[in-house]
Structure 1
Amino acid sequence: MTHAECVTGDVVAVVKPRGVASVYVVCEGECEAHCPGYNVVRVDELVGDAEASILGELVASMLLTPPEQIDGDPSVIEEARMAYLTRIAVEEHARLRKLLGGLAAHAKVAHIYHIVARASRLSRLYPWVPSSLIDVLRSDARVVVRDAEQSLLEAGCERSGGPWFELCEHSGARIRRGWRLVAVRLTRIWPLVRPGGVDHPLIRDPLLLVKLRRGRLRTKVLEFEEQLYSVTGVKRILRTVQMGLGGTVTAYRGEFKSVIVKRYLTPATAKWVVAAGIALPIYPYRLAPRDRLEAEYDAVNAMLDAGLPVPEPVLVDPRGLKAAYEYIEGTPLHHLVAKDPLHPSLAEAGMLLAQLHREGWVMGDANPTNFIVGRDRIYMVDLEQARKSDSIKHRAWDLAVLVYYSFLFNPQEPGNRAMLVAKAYIAAGGDVEVVREAARVVFAVPFTPIAPVTVLEKARRAFLHVAGAVT
Structure 2
Amino acid sequence: MRECSCRGSGLTTSSLLCSCRGEDLVVKDYSRKGVKWLITLPYAPVYRYIYSPEGRLRNELKWYRSLRGAYPVPRIVAYCIGEKPLLIREYVDGEPVSNSLDEDAWKALGSGLARLHFSLGMVLGDPNPGNFIYSLGEAWLVDFEQADDYTPQKAAWDLLVLAATTITLASPLKWRFVEAALSSYREAAGDRWSEVLESLGGVRLKLLNPLLVSPLHALRFYRLARSL
Length-normalised TM-score, structure 1: 0.43
1:459 paired residue among 214, 221, 224: 221
Cα pair distance change 1:328/1:444, threshold 3 Å: farther
Cα pair distance change 1:444/1:425, threshold 3 Å: farther
The 8 Å contact of residues 418 and 462 in structure 1, kept in 2 or not, is answered as no
Cα pair distance change 1:259/1:269, threshold 3 Å: same
Cα pair distance change 1:413/1:287, threshold 3 Å: closer
The 8 Å contact of residues 107 and 180 in structure 2, kept in 1 or not, is answered as yes
SS in 1 for 2:47: coil
List gaps (5 residues or longer) in structure 2: none
The 8 Å contact of residues 105 and 137 in structure 2, kept in 1 or not, is answered as no
| Amino acid in structure 1 at the alignment position of 2:45 | P
The 8 Å contact of residues 116 and 123 in structure 2, kept in 1 or not, is answered as yes
| Amino acid in structure 1 at the alignment position of 2:34 | T
> Which residue in 1 is equivalent to 2:72?
309
> Which residue in 2 is equivalent to 1:285?
49
Cα pair distance change 1:364/1:251, threshold 3 Å: same
Post-superposition offset of 1:256: 4.8
> Which residue in 2 is equivalent to 1:356?
116
> Which residue in 2 is equivalent to 1:299?
63
Higher mean alpha-carbon deviation, 349-358 vs 421-430, is at 421-430
Give, in whole Å, the separation in 2 of the partners of 1:399 and 1:447. 11
- Are 1:272 and 2:37 an aligned pair? yes
Post-superposition offset of 1:418: 4.1
| Amino acid in structure 1 at the alignment position of 2:72 | P
| Amino acid in structure 2 at the alignment position of 1:272 | W
> Which residue in 2 is equivalent to 1:435?
197
1:407 paired residue among 147, 156, 167: 167
2:183 paired residue among 423, 426, 431: 423
Cα pair distance change 1:349/1:278, threshold 3 Å: farther
Residues 119-141 of structure 1, C-alpha deviations (whole Å, 9 max, x = no match): xxxxxxxxxxxxxxxxxxxxxxx
Post-superposition offset of 1:374: 1.3
Residues 295-344 of structure 1, C-alpha deviations (whole Å, 9 max, x = no match): 01111121014x201111111111241111111111111111xxx4x722
Name the % identity. 24
| Amino acid in structure 2 at the alignment position of 1:392 | P
In the alignment of these two chains, the number of paired residues is 221
| Amino acid in structure 1 at the alignment position of 2:160 | A
Post-superposition offset of 1:428: 1.8
Task: Compare CA radii of gyration and give the structure with the larger one.
Answer: 1
The 8 Å contact of residues 235 and 255 in structure 1, kept in 2 or not, is answered as yes
| Amino acid in structure 1 at the alignment position of 2:134 | V
- Are 1:397 and 2:157 an aligned pair? yes
The 8 Å contact of residues 436 and 464 in structure 1, kept in 2 or not, is answered as no
Give, in whole Å, the separation in 2 of the partners of 1:437 and 1:241. 34
Cα pair distance change 1:443/1:236, threshold 3 Å: farther
Residues 359-390 of structure 1, C-alpha deviations (whole Å, 9 max, x = no match): 11111210111111113422011111012x13
Residues 190-239 of structure 1, C-alpha deviations (whole Å, 9 max, x = no match): xxxxxxxxxxxxxxxxxxxxxxxxxxxxxxxxxxxx5xx3xxxx632242
Post-superposition offset of 1:411: 5.3
Larger RCO (CA within 8 A; separation ≥ 6): 2
| Amino acid in structure 1 at the alignment position of 2:129 | P
The 8 Å contact of residues 404 and 444 in structure 1, kept in 2 or not, is answered as no
Post-superposition offset of 1:455: 2.5
Cα pair distance change 1:457/1:302, threshold 3 Å: same
Give, in whole Å, the separation in 1 of the partners of 2:207 and 2:17. 33
SS in 1 for 2:48: coil
2:98 paired residue among 323, 334, 337: 334
The 8 Å contact of residues 403 and 418 in structure 1, kept in 2 or not, is answered as yes
| Amino acid in structure 2 at the alignment position of 1:311 | P
The 8 Å contact of residues 79 and 87 in structure 2, kept in 1 or not, is answered as yes
Length-normalised TM-score, structure 2: 0.85
RMSD between aligned residues: 2.6
User: Which residues of 2 match residues 37-116 of structure 1 at below 5 A?
Assistant: none
